Amino acid sequence: MVLCICAAGLCRPVWAQAPPDAPSIKLGTTIFADYTFQQAPKVLDADGHAVSLSSFNITRTYINITGKVSPRVSFRLTPDITREIDPDSTINGSYTFRLKYAFAQLALDRWLGAGSWTRFGLQGTPFMEFAQEAYRYRFQGSLFEEREGYLSIADAGATARVALPHDHGDVHGGFYNGEGSYRPEVNDQKAWMLRGTVRPLPGHTTLHGLRVTGFVDHDAYSQDRDRNRNIFSVTFEHPYVNAGYDYLATADRPAGQTATMRGRGWTAFVTPRTKIGWEGLLRYDWLRPDAEHLQQVKHRAIGGVAYWLKPINGVTSALLVDIDNTTFDNYSPAQATQRRIAVHLLVNY
């Protein structure tokens, strides 16, 4: 619909504002970039010299397309552009275009609490989607459970989230393929995931950001072959500090393996913050992949300093300088220490 404003004998068309319940679509992007110096281990160059690898990288580029079909129905479509790193692939080293999110969402606010919904399609998994709210440094590297290969940040499935009354938390659960966003389903087994989060003191000025979470992921490689994950988590968000602790227990018995591997691990982080954009990052991961049969232990320590620019017109951006150090105890064959020093860039709009 076009309206005309006339003044001094001139008419100018003016587009009428769309009604609030009209369909809409928004376009955004997320970019993770870095310069990384790999101090250890050394790599061999073309002449066989041991050198410290250094590289400029674009680790993630998301194109975020979100929209509203009606007051209750919305959607998200997010392609992910990333580098192919499979040495057996004919496009090894090239940037590839793949799907990260593609789901429709039905708002349930009319029948349940505000913020309740149900989704169908390729979407965030209940724990990983929640964990990123307090830990804002996925552009440095994946969260502990994802980095160790136990959980995927997205998967295809049907889920629902119900918000608890008076901001006391939420429950999010559903059924997924269980293979993650980048792999097709390979069997008849489905993963059911359930996360419950409680905010004990929603009305407290300081402790409003305290949340306690339990998460269960029950899956199988095939019938009677466990692929289970259980997590207990405590997070705290405050204008001056974010912090969190996760305890992870896993059970895995893939094809060809007679005994179940029961992994145990934990991660803790703290990010002290200032009002002028400067922020610290301290994180420690500890993992025993097979706590019942092996003494192998992996340690990861991350430390860095970030500067978060003041958001302008909805654009979030940050620079981070960090050291990421991983050591391996009692591994056979022995695993070399991995140490990387990097400058990371985040742009999100």
* Closest-CA residue to 38 (of 29, 51, 28, 47): 51
Stated as kind and residue range, the H or E segment containing 147 is helix 144-147
Residue 310 per-residue DSSP state: P
Residue 323 has pLDDT above 80, yes or no: yes
Model confidence at 94, in pLDDT bands (50, 70, 90)?
Answer: confident
* Closest-CA residue to 104 (of 134, 74, 126, 78): 74
Could you read off the pLDDT of 229-245 as tens digits, one per residue?
Answer: 999 999 999 999 999 99
Could you read off the pLDDT of 139-150 as tens digits, one per residue?
Answer: 999 999 999 999
The reported pLDDT for the residue numbered 72 is 94
Could you read off the pLDDT of 254-303 as tens digits, one per residue?
Answer: 988 889 999 999 999 999 999 999 999 999 999 999 999 999 999 999 99
Burial of 120 (0-12, 13-18, 19+ CB in 10 A): middle
* Closest-CA residue to 103 (of 158, 50, 59): 158
Could you read off the pLDDT of 99-118 as tens digits, one per residue?
Answer: 999 999 999 998 888 899 99
- Cα 17 from chain centre: 36
**Of 328 and 84, the one with more pLDDT:** 328
**How far is the first Cα of the chain from the last one, in angstroms, to the nearest whole number?**
30
In contact, 318 and 346? CB cutoff 8 Å: yes
Could you read off the pLDDT of 137-176 as tens digits, one per residue?
Answer: 999 999 999 999 999 999 999 999 999 999 999 999 999 9
In contact, 269 and 256? CB cutoff 8 Å: no
In contact, 84 and 57? CB cutoff 8 Å: no
The reported pLDDT for the residue numbered 92 is 74
pLDDT averaged over the chain? 92
In contact, 290 and 282? CB cutoff 8 Å: no
Q: Which domains does the chain have, with CATH numbers?
A: 25-348 (2.40.160.10)
